[in-house]
């Protein structure tokens, strides 16, 4: 089976949630014998790289300004129309391959599209946030960009052979907002590569490079956009400090809200406890995550179970998140993590203090979290669901021929 996997972004040049997902799925598929070629951006001229026996990466030009996924398609439409006809299955990540429908009839290959978050859910979340928490970048992405992404979604729903919706919460949204055809849809949970994370943690222990400035470390990461809720972590710190001043808060990521978040830190007079770490390598991020005491991810919406949440759980860390449907896909309250009432800063602070004050509880929740991820979200198991989708499409094509 020859699979073309199309995504504008792909590691190591970017490590966002969808980028990590693309990387992990492509690698897992190649390990079970699928011949995978990833078509992605970040090259001045087309470059074909052999990553392993069954995995190639075709780097193509990408105009590195928003909306990148659209520029990627237009820049490389001719090359893709020439190359894709030699593959058995075409699989595009959401809003990375909608224009593929233009050349689909010419190529005559089954087309699978992954749907992640729903555009209307993203817009609703933004509109429900307080005005001061919205940046110009947020407004452009969520509001100005909505009509375009909505059109792309409808194009994918019309032209694709099959849809993979990532996570139960997203599947419910597509059923409600788009009346998605269940007979053409497979709901697959988000997953992570446990073997990769274990390897990074093992290296961390060998190098012993983690340095603490205080006894307890609170970790959070993500793009500094409104929906990630980073300000809630910062606003919770004054309450945490009433019980424990021996803490440090490390915030990883960049985005349009960075300057406002730094001003918030100053206004709350918690600057000596909070550091903005910016972008770091994926390996660095996992190493930092594996050494923290508590990981906090107060997102207002996510693509299914958050990959960052699952990575922290795989690192055996107690995770705190807001109680939304997507969070419940990985977190069982006080069993595999802590679910705080949405936007409740005092409860968020209380949850942090509960874990900081009880090492035994941190270890217990961390152990349960790892066990849950290993059982339900390990890509070595999930990859079988992808192979089944591809095989069924190919078999349907042979029957219909």
Most confident of 54-68, 105-119, 140-154, 367-381: 367-381
**CB under 8 Å to 198, separation ≥6 — which residues?**
none
Which pTM was predicted?
0.88
Higher-confidence residue of 118 and 299: namely 299
| 177-232 pLDDT per residue, tens | 888 999 999 999 999 999 999 999 887 655 555 667 778 999 999 989 888 999 99
Tokens representing residue 363 in the block: 């270890």
Instruction: List the one residue out of 115, 116, 114, 60 whose CA is nearest residue 84.
Output: 60
Number of domains in the chain: 2
Mean predicted confidence (pLDDT) in 288-309: 91
- Which pLDDT band holds residue 13 (cuts at 50, 70, 90)? confident
pLDDT for position 98: 67
3 state DSSP class of 392: helix
Q: Are residues 388 and 367 in the same domain?
A: no
pLDDT for position 107: 80
Instruction: List the one residue out of 193, 6, 174, 163 whose CA is nearest residue 87.
Output: 6
Q: Are residues 213 and 138 in the same domain?
A: no
Residue 270, Cα to own-chain centre: how many angstroms? 29
- Which pLDDT band holds residue 125 (cuts at 50, 70, 90)? confident
Give CA separation, 379 vs 91, 189, 203, in Å.
17, 10, 21
Q: Are residues 109 and 252 in the same domain?
A: no
Q: Are residues 14 and 121 in the same domain?
A: yes
| 347-386 pLDDT per residue, tens | 999 999 999 999 999 999 999 999 999 999 999 999 999 9
Q: Are residues 106 and 89 in the same domain?
A: yes
Give CA separation, 383 vs 144, 379, 389, in Å.
36, 6, 10
User: What is the CB neighbour count within 10 angstroms for residue 398?
Assistant: 8
Q: Are residues 246 and 300 in the same domain?
A: yes
| 19-46 pLDDT per residue, tens | 889 999 999 999 999 999 999 988 889 9
| DSSP codes, 127-165 | HTS-GGG--HHHHIIIIITHHHHHHHHHHHHHH-SEEEE
CATH number (domain holding residue 153): 3.40.50.2000
- Which pLDDT band holds residue 398 (cuts at 50, 70, 90)? low
Q: Are residues 80 and 224 in the same domain?
A: no
Q: Are residues 200 and 243 in the same domain?
A: yes
Residue with tokens 């800063």, as numbered in its chain = 345
Q: Are residues 203 and 323 in the same domain?
A: yes
pLDDT at residue 167 above 50? yes
Mean predicted confidence (pLDDT) in 333-340: 97
Q: Are residues 257 and 352 in the same domain?
A: yes
Q: Are residues 46 and 152 in the same domain?
A: yes
- Which pLDDT band holds residue 400 (cuts at 50, 70, 90)? very low
| Domain span including residue 78 | 2-191+379-400
| Whole-number percent of the chain with pLDDT over 70 | 95
Q: Are residues 128 and 209 in the same domain?
A: no
């Amino acid at each position: 089976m020859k699979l073309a996997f199309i995504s504008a972004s792909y590691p190591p040049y970017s490590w966002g949630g969808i980028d990590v997902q693309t990387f992990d799925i492509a690698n897992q598929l190649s390990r079970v014998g699928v011949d995978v070629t990833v078509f992605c951006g970040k090259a001045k001229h087309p470059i074909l790289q052999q990553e392993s026996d069954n995995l190639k990466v075709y780097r193509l030009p990408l105009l590195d300004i928003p909306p990148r996924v659209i520029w990627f398609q237009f820049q490389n439409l001719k090359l893709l129309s020439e190359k894709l006809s030699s593959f058995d299955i075409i699989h595009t990540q959401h809003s990375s391959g909608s224009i593929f429908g233009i050349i689909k009839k010419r190529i005559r290959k089954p087309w699978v599209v992954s749907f992640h978050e729903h555009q209307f859910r993203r817009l609703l979340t933004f509109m429900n946030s307080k005005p001061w928490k919205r940046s110009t970048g947020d407004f452009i992405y969520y509001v100005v960009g909505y009509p375009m992404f909505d059109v792309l979604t409808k194009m994918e729903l019309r032209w694709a052979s099959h849809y993979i919706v990532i996570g139960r919460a997203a599947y419910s949204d597509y059923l409600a907002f788009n009346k998605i055809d269940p007979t053409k849809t497979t709901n697959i949970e988000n997953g992570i590569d446990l073997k990769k994370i274990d390897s990074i943690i093992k290296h961390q222990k060998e190098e012993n490079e983690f340095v603490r400035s205080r006894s307890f470390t609170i970790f959070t990461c993500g793009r500094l956009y409104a929906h990630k809720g980073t300000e809630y972590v910062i606003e919770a710190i004054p309450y945490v400090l009433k019980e424990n001043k021996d803490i440090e808060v490390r915030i990883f990521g960049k985005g349009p809200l960075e300057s406002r978040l730094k001003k918030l830190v100053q206004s709350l007079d918690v600057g000596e406890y909070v550091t903005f770490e910016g972008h770091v390598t994926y390996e660095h991020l996992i190493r930092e995550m594996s050494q923290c005491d508590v990981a906090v991810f107060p997102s207002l919406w996510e693509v299914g179970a958050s990959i960052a949440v699952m990575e922290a759980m795989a690192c055996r860390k107690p995770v705190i998140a807001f109680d939304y449907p997507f969070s419940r896909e990985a977190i069982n309250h006080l069993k595999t993590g802590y679910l705080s009432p949405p936007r409740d800063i005092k409860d968020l602070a209380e949850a942090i203090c509960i874990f900081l004050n009880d090492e035994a509880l941190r270890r217990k929740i961390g152990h349960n979290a790892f066990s849950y991820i290993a059982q339900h979200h390990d890509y070595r198991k999930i990859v079988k669901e992808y192979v089944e989708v591809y095989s069924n499409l190919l078999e349907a094509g042979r029957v219909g021929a």
